[in-house]
Structure 1
Amino acid sequence: MIQGFLQYIRYEKRFSPHTVQAYSTDLEQYALFLRSTYETDDLSAATHSMIRSWIVQLMEQKITTRSINRKLTTLKTYYKFLLRQGTLRVNPMLRVQAPKTSKRLPAFVDERKMDQLFTEVAFPEGFTGLRDRLVLETLYGTGMRLAELVGLKDSDVDLHAMQLKVLGKRNKERVIPFTDKMRELIVAYRQVRNGHFASREKFFVTDQGKSLYPKFVYRLVLRYLGVITTLEKRSPHVLRHTFATHMLNRGADINSVKELLGHANLSATQVYTHNTIEKLKKVYQQAHPRA
């Protein structure tokens, strides 16, 4: 049933390969727990008490509540699938309460630091410098995800309309505009890239002309952000957080930011508004005569 479930979320629900792998790992861990603790290989026979005891074990192993809740989301989706297939009559997850998580605010880079990155940091000469700079400009200038960046095709970049076509989660397409400055960088990058390497489907390539891959981008972002900030977390996703925070701080409509980020729900975008609220509080304290 697990393989049938994984095929269901991949092909019918259109979950990303990364999500499918995460769900597969969660179910393997859950099945191992049931086998070792209750001597059963039948996941459909598990009760709410068994699931609760798994939560307790995960907590004892110091697994974060955020990770535990993600695993419970996997189980919720799995047992709903079994109900749909007629394998189950009662969903054991209905009597399972997820542990509360503390609200984690997204890390972001200050505007002045980002300006410093693009105006003061020295990028290498030639293709490498152009590519590195454009990767950073794209992540910060569009707010796209890492997977969307490495999956970007040459045909997705429209210089005339000044927009990128992005394939997001669950294969949903969206269009993101870009700036005049980014257009100049794209033109320069393409010219040098095409002079060095044969034509490729993917837009971004390595120094050897191969398609960019996630670990490469992680190292690139970590290296350059390390020059301008002491943030402990310096990942491509931090640049996505930074894009959203700066847009909202400068008065962008939250629904517009939601569309640019490709969020399915507005609640996912609202996490960035805390920075806007803090900025308003600061202005209020400085300007209001009774503050």
Structure 2
Amino acid sequence: MFERYLAKWRVTPAEKPRGMNVTHVTVTKILDFYIARRIDRECIDVKRPRSARPYIEMFFKGTPLNRIRLQACAAYIDARRAGQVRPARGRRSTFIGSDGSIRRELLILRTAARYALKHESICGSDMPLIEAPPEPPSRTVYLTKAEYKLAHETAEGELKDFIALAYYTGARRRAIENLTAGQVDFDGGHIHLQPDNASAKQRRSKKRKPITPIVRPLLPVLTRLTAGRLPNDRLLPKKDYYSPFNRHLKRLGLSAKGFPHILRHTRATHLLQAGASIYDVAKLLGDTTATVERVYGHHSSESLGKKLDEFEEG
């Protein structure tokens, strides 16, 4: 009688996993499930998971998920480093993967498997054993004050406005490209980087869009760009500013620094070099203090030299 009473509380494993009616879950099926159910519905940054997928599928093809073990991961890492994994749709001149890219690809596969397990679409016996390369050191490239001045003064038209907006706000490229006149509050002296009509998906993003102050050098730029515009009108022409910025810095001999996100690095670095606190910089960027200290808290050799000279003279 007592055993019969306890029987209804016993948890028994399901005979078949729900969600995927297959005997062996392959890498392709697990990525299809993860991208359709998680990435496309809830994530803002869909480019990285989608760009990682062709390399994973090309190498593992129809391999069952539970057959991916440490040896298979090591083979994938070696093949990617040697440029031997070449997706059919790839347009790149080189397919050699950096450790950062390889790590991201393998972690996306592991995350996809964990997501499917969480939603009971696969069983525990289907889980892979994945080992990725260690996390590479943070990229600490930034423009010196002279380089930023050169890049800004030699730019023309909307590219010059983009550089000024991205630098003084410390915002990411997409936030500047989508900035509207209604997000600029002259009375309060702030720019609301998160628009009022942001979707729930955008508000759940880990890439926070804070309220940033309007500094004096930015005031004439914003006054000119907002003149005669409706609240929903963009301040800049609708286009991707990555390539124009990249070409501009190449012409200046700064091809290694030709990515717009460097303006965010540069703003944080210049503020820290000028004596701003990590807390204030973190508030401006919408990051944690730990992230600012780890990623942006680097100083130029000139600043370090001055401090050492002051130390020796004291």
Q: Secondary structure at the match of 2:124?
A: coil
Given the superposition, is the C-alpha separation of residues 75 and 269 from structure 1 closer, same or farther in structure 2, using an over 3 Å criterion?
Answer: farther
Give the CA deviation at 1:150.
1.3
Q: Which has the larger radius of gyration?
A: 2
**Whole-angstrom CA distance in 2 between matches of 1:184 and 1:67:** 41
Identity of aligned residues (%): 17
Which of the residues 43, 50, 55 maps onto 2:77?
A: 55
CA-CA distance at 1:67 after TM superposition: 0.8
Give the AA of the match of 2:72: M
SS in 2 for 1:82: helix
- Structure 1, unmatched stretches of 5+, are none
Question: What is aligned with 2:89?
Answer: none
> Are the equivalent residues in 1 in contact too, given 2:272–2:278 (CA < 8 A)?
yes
Match of residue 132 from structure 1: 159
The offset of 1:229, in angstroms, is 6.0
1:178 aligns with 2:214: yes
1:2 aligns with 2:26: no
- Tell me how far 1:177 sits from its aligned partner: 1.3
Aligned pairs for 1:1-291 within 5 A:
1-10=30-39, 14-16=42-44, 19-35=45-61, 40-43=62-65, 45-61=67-83, 62-86=96-120, 87-89=122-124, 95-100=129-134, 102-103=136-137, 105-116=139-150, 121=153, 129=157, 131-167=158-194, 169-170=205-206, 172-191=208-227, 194=229, 199=230, 201-206=232-237, 211=238, 213-214=239-240, 217-222=241-246, 224-225=248-249, 230=254, 232-263=256-287, 266-267=290-291, 269-275=293-299, 278=301, 281-289=304-312
The structure-2 alpha-carbon separation of the partners of 1:260 and 1:44, relative to structure 1 and needing over 3 Å to count, comes to: farther
CA distance in 1, matches of 2:207, 2:221: 27
**1:230-278: CA deviation from partner (whole Å, max 9, x where unpaired):** 45322211111111110111112213322322336723652222216x4
Q: Aligned-residue CA RMSD in angstroms?
A: 3.2
CA contact (8 A) 2:140 2:298 kept: no
Question: Secondary structure at 1:106's aligned position in 2?
Answer: coil
Cα distance in 1 between the residues matched to 2:289 and 2:126 = 26
Residue 228 of structure 1 and its aligned partner are, at CA, apart by 5.8
Distance (Å, rounded) in 2 between the aligned partners of 1:239 and 1:91? 44
Distance 1:226 1:53, change over 3 A: closer
Equivalent residues of 2:278, 2:289 under 8 A apart: no
Q: Any gaps of 5 or more consecutive residues in structure 2?
A: 1-29, 84-95, 195-201
Deviations 1:111-153 (A, max 9, x none): 13334555xx3665xxxx3x33321111110111111111222
Considering fraction of residues, name the structure with more helix: 1
Q: Deviation string for 1:186-236 (max 9, x for gaps)?
A: 112222x64xxxx58342333xxxx2x22xx12443455457664532221
CA offset digits 1:87-115 (Å, max 9, x no partner): 1315856x543224553542211113334
Flag the 1:259–1:205 CA change in 2: closer, same or farther, 3 A.
same
1:132–1:281 distance in 2 versus 1, CA, 3 Å: closer
**TM-score, normalization: structure 1?**
0.75
Contact 1:48 1:92 in 2 (8 A): no
User: Is the partner of 1:176 in helix, strand or coil?
Assistant: strand
